[in-house]
């Protein structure tokens, strides 16, 4: 007997799920599993193509919650220069205390403390880095300034460092140091050692800074060192680090340490008594210890400044760009209205969107490459996504990896859930407004208001953004889980097909419909 549509609704629903699952995992189209239904009542799968408008979107700043600091200047022939600098607080462990001066108790014949005198031998601010971009031998100069105001929780890259230190006060300058990313003065024997860590060292005054501001204050006011908050408020608010000479190198700073050096006694491990040399003198040594450092527990903020040339590149209409750091995104306007009008009675199974970049061949030695990973996200969700440290949910946000072998593409194989979410959002709002308006309903006026209202005008827009996807590898299963998505702060760019006057991008929509 021929089944009517109502009679096999439940069966058909299960079959639809199977069809959608197959199509969602495969870019091909067809009628997988549908041939068993009677031809007059069966389902068939089709593909429709819709155009997508794109343009370059200037990102004046991005949210950058990261423990990496960026320092340097790099000039690119295409995009002009950009400068990187950062500000950071230094952490203080809870209830911190400096080592005590050595004392011997003749009654118990034990010793306590280890310092040979209540003094500081040396103080260094050490900037550690492991990688960089650009010319490793380029001559540069780094300056470090002391902050006179506590950092706000502003993680955006348009932060104004001058709001946190007095650039006209010579006392705020802690030091200047010439450097190159690859320090040729370091012997190969040292460089190949396990404990070698590239760094730039700024010696500070051991008396005024080490003893008067740190050691003595800690002895007199231990409450100032109760935790990081009190230390930053009362003792040391942090540093601003920038490069003020050189062009062509960006350092990726891992951490900043404030190290103090002391003269210490060599102690008996059991009794704590100071040991003597053979000639009867005290056995002493010089020890360097890191007490305060930049960590994830304190605020760190990066600043990126781009030249005006980047705006000229973004204004080009024959194509679009993505450029990091804090440079250019690609904005795409998806044809949800057109999809709804043409496929309103059908089921969307897969919506495929592909961004293709041009081959990037540069004659320059240190050129930027295409970002490895990108995020596709609704434009209206951009701010909340990064500030709340969200992950891609495959509904309104997706990630993709650059296919650099042959295709040169960022492919989002199925954003059907994004399309249906946005279409349903608008249709629900329209229905609610229509019911409220009653006989006074004016659809043309409502559509105009929908497109102009700040809350809804970007409902059909998405952004393509260079990102860094952080994973946590699972050794037990050999897999990895995404634990964070951050704006990409390393130099990179891709020139994409599209633009307001260039080749139109297209999305491929696979849908299922009843046969007539």
pLDDT for position 516 = 66
Strand partners, 76: 80
Comparison of pLDDT for 279 and 34, the residue scoring more: 279
pLDDT for position 477 = 60
CA–CA distance from 374 to each of 17, 278, 464, 493, 509 (Å)? 29, 66, 6, 11, 22
């001559």: which residue's tokens? 139
Query: 69 falls in which pLDDT band (50, 70, 90)?
Result: very high
Strand partners, 463: 331, 377
3-class DSSP state of 507 = strand
3-class DSSP state of 162 = helix
Please say if the pLDDT value at position 475 is more than 70: no
DSSP codes joined into one string, 206-231: IIIIIIIIIIHHHHH-GGGGSSHHHH
- For residues 227-236, give the mean pLDDT: 97
Structural contact between residues 321 and 466, judged by C-beta atoms closer than 8 angstroms: no
CA–CA distance from 9 to each of 6, 113, 136 (Å)? 5, 82, 67
Angle at 100 between CA 94 and CA 103, to 5 degrees: 150
Comparison of pLDDT for 66 and 88, the residue scoring more: 88
Query: 67 falls in which pLDDT band (50, 70, 90)?
Result: confident
pLDDT for position 204 = 97
Please say if the pLDDT value at position 379 is more than 70: yes
Please say if the pLDDT value at position 6 is more than 60: no
Comparison of pLDDT for 60 and 90, the residue scoring more: 90
180 burial level (CB within 10 Å; 0-12, 13-18, 19+): middle
Query: 280 falls in which pLDDT band (50, 70, 90)?
Result: confident
Q: Provide the mean pLDDT of the chain.
A: 89
Lowest-pLDDT range of 83-87, 106-110, 328-332: 106-110
Cα 511 from Cα 416, distance rounded (Å): 10
Q: What percent of the chain has pLDDT over 90?
A: 79
**Which residue, among 437, 354, 326, has the nearest Cα to 64 in the 3D structure?**
326
């005054």: which residue's tokens? 205
Q: Where are the domains of the chain?
A: 46-60+308-428+456-514, 80-304
Question: Would the pTM of this model clear 0.75, i.e. be above it?
Answer: yes
Query: 496 falls in which pLDDT band (50, 70, 90)?
Result: very high
CB under 8 Å to 427, separation ≥6 — which residues? 340
Query: 359 falls in which pLDDT band (50, 70, 90)?
Result: confident
Q: Quote helix, strand, coil % in the chain, to nearest 5.
A: 20, 40, 40
Cα 463 from Cα 57, distance rounded (Å): 8
CB under 8 Å to 68, separation ≥6 — which residues? 252, 253, 254, 489
CB under 8 Å to 423, separation ≥6 — which residues? 336, 339, 340
């Amino acid at each position: 007997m021929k089944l009517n549509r109502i009679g096999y609704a439940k069966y058909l629903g299960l079959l639809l799920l199977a069809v959608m699952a197959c199509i969602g995992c495969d870019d091909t189209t067809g009628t997988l599993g549908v041939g068993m239904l009677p031809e007059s009542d069966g389902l068939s799968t089709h593909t429709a193509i819709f155009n997508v408008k794109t343009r370059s979107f200037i990102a004046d700043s991005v949210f950058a919650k990261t423990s990496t600091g960026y320092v340097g200047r790099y000039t690119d022939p295409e995009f002009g220069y950009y400068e990187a600098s950062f500000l950071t607080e230094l952490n203080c462990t809870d209830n911190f205390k400096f080592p005590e001066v050595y004392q011997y108790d003749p009654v118990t014949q034990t010793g306590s403390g280890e310092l040979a005198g209540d003094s500081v031998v040396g103080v260094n601010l050490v900037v550690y880095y492991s990688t960089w971009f650009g010319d490793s031998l380029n001559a540069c100069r780094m300056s470090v300034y002391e902050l006179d105001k506590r950092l706000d929780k502003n993680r955006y890259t348009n932060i104004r460092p001058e709001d946190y230190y007095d650039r006209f006060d010579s006392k705020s300058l802690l030091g200047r140091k010439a450097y190159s990313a690859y320090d040729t003065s370091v012997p190969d024997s040292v460089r190949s050692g396990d404990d070698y860590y590239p760094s730039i060292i700024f010696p500070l005054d051991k008396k005024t800074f080490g003893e008067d501001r740190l050691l003595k204050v800690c002895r007199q006011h231990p409450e100032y060192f109760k935790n990081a908050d009190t230390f930053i408020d009362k003792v040391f608010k942090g540093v601003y680090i920038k490069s003020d000479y050189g062009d062509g190198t960006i350092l990726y700073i891992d951490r900043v340490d404030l190290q103090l050096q002391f003269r210490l006694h060599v102690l008996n491990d059991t009794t704590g008594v100071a040991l003597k040399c053979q000639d009867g003198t005290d056995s002493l040594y010089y020890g360097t210890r890191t007490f305060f450092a930049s960590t994830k527990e304190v605020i760190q903020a990066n600043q990126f400044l781009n030249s005006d040339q980047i705006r000229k590149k973004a204004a080009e209409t024959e194509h679009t760009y993505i450029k990091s750091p804090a440079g250019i995104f690609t904005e795409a306007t998806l044809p949800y209205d057109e999809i709804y009008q043409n496929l309103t009675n059908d089921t969307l199974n897969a919506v495929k969107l592909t961004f293709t970049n041009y081959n990037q061949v540069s004659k320059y030695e240190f050129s930027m490459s295409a970002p490895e990973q990108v995020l596709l996200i609704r434009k209206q969700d951009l701010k909340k996504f990064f500030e709340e440290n969200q992950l891609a949910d495959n509904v309104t946000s997706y990630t993709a990896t650059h296919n650099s072998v042959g295709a040169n593409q960022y492919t989002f194989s199925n954003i059907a859930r994004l399309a249906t979410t946005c279409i349903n959002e608008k249709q629900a709002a329209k229905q609610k407004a229509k019911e409220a308006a009653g006989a006074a309903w004016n659809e043309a006026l409502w559509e105009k208001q929908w497109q102009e209202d700040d809350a809804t005008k970007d409902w059909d827009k998405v952004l393509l953004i260079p990102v860094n996807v952080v994973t946590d590898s699972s050794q037990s299963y050999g897999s990895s889980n995404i634990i964070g998505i951050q704006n990409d702060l390393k130099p990179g760019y891709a020139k994409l097909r599209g633009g307001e006057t260039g080749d139109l991008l297209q999305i491929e929509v696979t849908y299922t419909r009843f046969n007539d």
